[in-house]
Amino acid sequence: MADSHTLKLGSRPLHLADLRRVFEGPVNVAIDATALTAVAQAHALIGRLAAGDAPAYGINTGFGLLAQTRIPPAQRTLLQRNIILSHSAGVGPLLDDAIVRLTLVLKLASLVQGFSGISTELARFLERLINSELYPCVPAQGSVGASGDLAPLAHMSLSVLGLGQIRRRGEILPAAEALAQEGITPPALGPKEGLALLNGTQVSTALALGGLFELETVFAGAVVSGVLSTDALKGSDAPFDPRIHHVRGHDGQARIAQVYRELLAGSQIRESHRECSRVQDPYSLRCQPQVMGACLDLISQQAATLAIEANAVTDNPLVFPDTGEVLSGGNFHAEPVAFAADVLAIACAEVGSITERRVALLVDPKMSGLPAFLTPESGVNSGFMMAQVTAAALVAENRMLCHPASIDSIPTSANQEDHVSMATHGARRLLTMTGNALNIVAIEFLAACQGLDLLAPLKTSGRLQGASGALRRSVPFAASDRLLALDIEAAAFTVRQAEVQSLANTLLPSYR
């Protein structure tokens, strides 16, 4: 029986918070009883069509350019097996368990809506895979994001045949062995079931959602590190006045400014220079609400697109039991996911870009008023000199990676599939980009906390002291040069922690 922590599939739409939970760790899922009834009705219709003479794509015909080829009844089970085998042509590194788990949940959630024609036995098999933490080994490369994520979904589906490999609690085993250890017997494939498993945008969507969730983590960290830098650089809070943002009207901008005001409230450092002669701060301080607010709006918009796609039925053809029809269309084309991934990539690059500019301010004594490279004895010590160079290198790499993938369509399948989305690698690069951006934020976090300590005995606000204190538990003040790579790694870990994330993550769509 499902408990309160079990994720029910088929009873309501999946929310972003549900999907974040799937991404972050193992889950138990349960298929709603009403959904199973719908699955059975669609499967019965497929059975009737398979027994008839009328051509039905993927049921009694070949696939793609071979759609005009009729398949005799005796070969229709072989047809479904063969499509999985022939389409398992992926290459490259294996997708992480988090992405495969999310893909499995998205695929099952789509299939149990009752428009795909699979059997309840196949649905139960996928349910048991998820609940047993059996994650098929799926090569990351080989999909162009139209006709669905065919190659990666084929590799995922090999387990239905007892073939391929499965990762079980970190150990890679032959699929048949892993299934046997859990007492799971693969079902016999019926008409259309192989095609239903392979068609769909679930891999692209899982990768894009993973990128979204990681970008949210980076974004919240960048908000906090940006406020820390503002105080360390004795920046003004006047640019965060709500009246400025009200007259422009962008929601994200206003919300970011509000968080900055709240986090700076009570800072002794801010009060120490309130009457200073400086008229304006550099843009990377003053325009944080405008830049980060625009990024927040983009993130929110793309999150809405991905939430729709996560609940979509995207295989082909689709089964409509109420009218007895099977309709062939193109829901497998992942253009919405490709566009979302491209926009998220741009937002990620910009978050990293403005973050690095603040690091550059912090290490420059002409701009910061702090010791050169944030070290008490510069010359013999280089301080944060190379940390800023690393941040700059990561910014440059992300600029290269954020080239739009969606505009690079290339024809496939003998020109039958002549326009494709490229959503899969467009989404996959997000995880590389967010990893880069996290390290940029970690470097700023280190530099900003170093700058604040150099301003002692003046203190920042209580809430920002909590964030800097979280860092100081693992990374002490740098009085002299030491191995900075370890500090950056520790800072990246700190940025992910609740003491930092909770200061800003309520801005973000999967936390609302």
Count CB neighbours of 428 within 10 A.
24
Judge whether 129 and 46 are in contact, CB under 8 Å. Answer: no
Residue at token pair 């700023």: 444
Kindly indicate the confidence band of residue 64, based on its pLDDT and cuts at 50, 70 and 90: low
What mean pLDDT comes out for the span 326-354?
96
Helix H, strand E, coil C: the string for 391-425 is HHHHHHHHHHHCCCCCCCCCCECCCCECCCCCHHH
- Comparing 61 with 192, the larger pLDDT belongs to 192
Q: Check whether 294 has a pLDDT greater than 70.
A: yes
Q: Check whether 55 has a pLDDT greater than 90.
A: no
Cα–Cα distance, 60 to 378 (Å, whole number) = 76
Identified catalytic residue from 57, 135, 260, 511? 57
- Residue 96 corresponds to which tokens in the numbers above? 């992480």
Closest CA to 468 of 458, 457, 460: 460
Kindly indicate the confidence band of residue 4, based on its pLDDT and cuts at 50, 70 and 90: low
Closest CA to 122 of 183, 181, 200, 193: 193
How far, in Å, are 40, 44, 45, 49, 249 from residue 321 at the CA level? Answer: 10, 9, 6, 11, 47
Known catalytic residue at 57: yes
What mean pLDDT comes out for the span 163-177?
97
What mean pLDDT comes out for the span 242-247?
98
Q: Check whether 53 has a pLDDT greater than 90.
A: no
> CB-based burial of residue 453 (10 Å sphere; 0-12 exposed, 13-18 middle, 19+ buried)?
middle
Q: What is the pLDDT of residue 74?
A: 78
Cα–Cα distance, 16 to 12 (Å, whole number) = 13
Angle between helices 423-454 and 385-401 (to 10 degrees): 160
Q: Check whether 2 has a pLDDT greater than 60.
A: no
Q: Check whether 201 has a pLDDT greater than 60.
A: yes
Q: Which of 53-67, 162-176, 392-406, 433-447 is the least confident region? A: 53-67
- Residue 395 corresponds to which tokens in the numbers above? 């910014």
What mean pLDDT comes out for the span 305-324?
96
Residues 6+ apart with CB under 8 A from 260: 223, 226, 227, 230, 237, 240, 288, 289
Mean pLDDT score of the chain: 95
Q: What is the pLDDT of residue 278?
A: 85
* Statement: the pTM of the whole predicted model exceeds 0.85: yes
Query: Model confidence over 70-101: pLDDT tens digits?
Result: 888 778 888 899 999 999 999 999 999 999 99
Kindly indicate the confidence band of residue 1, based on its pLDDT and cuts at 50, 70 and 90: very low
Judge whether 17 and 23 are in contact, CB under 8 Å. Answer: no
Q: Check whether 275 has a pLDDT greater than 90.
A: no
Query: What sign does the CA torsion over 54, 57, 63, 65 have?
Result: positive
Count CB neighbours of 276 within 10 A.
9
- Which helix (H) or strand (E) covers residue 240, if one does? none
Residue at token pair 């994330």: 501
Number of residues that make up the chain? 512
DSSP 450-473: HHHHHTTTS---HHHHHHHHHHHT
Q: Strands 29-31 and 7-9, how do they pair?
A: parallel
Residues 6+ apart with CB under 8 A from 190: 43, 46, 47, 50, 77, 80, 118, 119
Q: Check whether 62 has a pLDDT greater than 90.
A: no
Q: What is the pLDDT of residue 3?
A: 63
Q: Which of 68-72, 187-191, 473-477 has the highest mean pLDDT?
A: 473-477
Q: Quote the percentage of the chain above a pLDDT of 90.
A: 88
Query: Model confidence over 425-438: pLDDT tens digits?
Result: 999 999 999 999 99
DSSP state of 112: T
Q: Quote the percentage of the chain above a pLDDT of 70.
A: 99
